[in-house]
Structure 1
Amino acid sequence: MVKLTGMNHREIMINEDNIEKIEEVPETVITMTNGNKYIVEENTDEIIDKIITFKKKFIIQILDRQIFTKGDESMSENKPEKKTDGASKIIIILLVLLIVLIGSFAGYILFFGGASNFHPSSSNNTNTTEVNTVSAADENTYSLDEAIVNLADTDSQRYAKVKVSFGYNEKNTKLKSELESEDVNKKPILSDAVNSVLRSKKAADLTTSKGVDEIKSEIMQKVNPILKNGKISNVYFDELVVQ
């Protein structure tokens, strides 16, 4: 397992064999094969480096055990001439295995699990590739007005009552001034961006943690291009009622 840094700088252990994909939207989100998601401070390259380092250590440990065991067997049989031979074969096999494992894992993460990071459309939008390193303790928040939004359900009339807040780096005074400016009121523009995302969703999308997390990511992608002096790092639902 590899050690990563979660939200609020807490260390978490991730089983690298159960990673399905890694995305940066803009925070780094690891999706496991069981559907669980983890937000970490490390970017994709750093995670891959840690996994490769862990795999190397694992293979080296196996290599050391095999050489030691093989050496003992050779000595106990009074056949020292086979010790070097057997150890050499084991070294070659394990080195080949190490290269195959590292190459396969890195290729899977880069070209399949992390496909969203290399999609051509993301090259023109830095909002989807920037890593979020702002913890809740370092955030200011900016709240929108409460809103009632019609949802996309067709079998019945469904709507959501929401109150949304944005988290952003407290050190970014320019972004704070932009959000709170009385000369240029951006609240209606930001509210429309949020509502446009919610109007495309069905009630079922708002009733699961996974669905809500995906909506938060979509809102960030919709809102960040509107802002000129920085980006929001988190989206919070202060109130969310689906009827």
Structure 2
Amino acid sequence: MFRSRGMNIAFLIMTVVLIGAVIAYFVLVHAADDGKNVKDPDIDQIVNNLTVSTGEITTNIKDDHFIKVDFNIQVSNKLARDELEKRSFQVKNAVIYTVSGMTTQDLSDQQGIANLENQVMTRVNGFLKSGKVTHVYTTEKVVQ
């Protein structure tokens, strides 16, 4: 290709380095996307990658009644979802602490449920490191 053997080797080395740099760029960009916050996710992304269910939680509340609740917690990215699954015991603890200070009157209307969801979101965001809670959905609530 070139008249000098040294130039041929230098050209070959530069080509290999350039191709390696391009491959490394695409690998790093793809890996970085896994941890980013998802903007305007569709329902499949929400269900499969961004939501964790607390499971049924039953505990007593302030006025000698019981409550059974279940939440779906949506987070900002997949890393936060993975962390939230590992911290499920802390989530249940946060829910129990939150509802134990409430009365049946506090939980009887839509405003009370919205308040409960906001308090759970605030508590969970307090210990979540990889992202944040974007929504808390109450999927079951029974007060007895």
1:148 positional shift: 0.9
| SS of match in other structure, 2:105 | helix
| SS of match in other structure, 2:58 | strand
How high is the TM-score relative to the length of structure 2?
0.64
Of 195, 206, 213, which aligns to 2:114?
213
Q: Indicate the residue corresponding to 2:61 in structure 1.
A: 151
Query: Do the aligned residues in 2 keep the contact of 1:149 with 1:159 (CA within 8 Å)?
Result: yes
CA distance in 2, matches of 1:166, 1:136: 16
Aligned-pair RMSD on alpha carbons? 1.8
Deviations 1:151-190 (A, max 9, x none): 111xxx2110111120123xx222122123xxxx311111
Q: How does 1:38-187 map to 2 (within 5 A)?
A: 137=43, 139=46, 140-153=50-63, 157-169=64-76, 172-180=77-85, 185-187=86-88
CA distance in 2, matches of 1:192, 1:201: 15
- Percent identical residues: 28
Q: Which runs of 4+ in 1 moved over 6 A?
A: none
Q: 1:136 to 1:164 in 2, by over 3 A?
A: farther
How high is the TM-score relative to the length of structure 1?
0.39
Q: 1:135 to 1:205 in 2, by over 3 A?
A: farther
Query: Do the aligned residues in 1 keep the contact of 2:51 with 2:81 (CA within 8 Å)?
Result: no
CA distance in 2, matches of 1:173, 1:195: 25
Query: Do the aligned residues in 2 keep the contact of 1:134 with 1:233 (CA within 8 Å)?
Result: no
Is there any run of 5+ residues in structure 2 with no aligned partner, and where?
Answer: 1-38
Query: Do the aligned residues in 1 keep the contact of 2:69 with 2:141 (CA within 8 Å)?
Result: yes
1:134 positional shift: 5.4
Query: Do the aligned residues in 2 keep the contact of 1:220 with 1:232 (CA within 8 Å)?
Result: yes
Q: Indicate the residue corresponding to 1:236 in structure 2.
A: 137
CA distance in 2, matches of 1:225, 1:186: 12
CA distance in 1, matches of 2:55, 2:42: 21
Letter in 2 for 1:152: K
Query: Do the aligned residues in 2 keep the contact of 1:162 with 1:237 (CA within 8 Å)?
Result: yes
| SS of match in other structure, 1:205 | coil
Is there any run of 5+ residues in structure 1 with no aligned partner, and where?
Answer: 1-132
* Equivalent residues, number: 102
Q: How does 1:21-40 map to 2 (within 5 A)?
A: none
1:141 positional shift: 1.2
| SS of match in other structure, 2:129 | coil
Query: Do the aligned residues in 1 keep the contact of 2:74 with 2:135 (CA within 8 Å)?
Result: yes
CA distance in 2, matches of 1:162, 1:173: 24
CA distance in 1, matches of 2:93, 2:101: 13
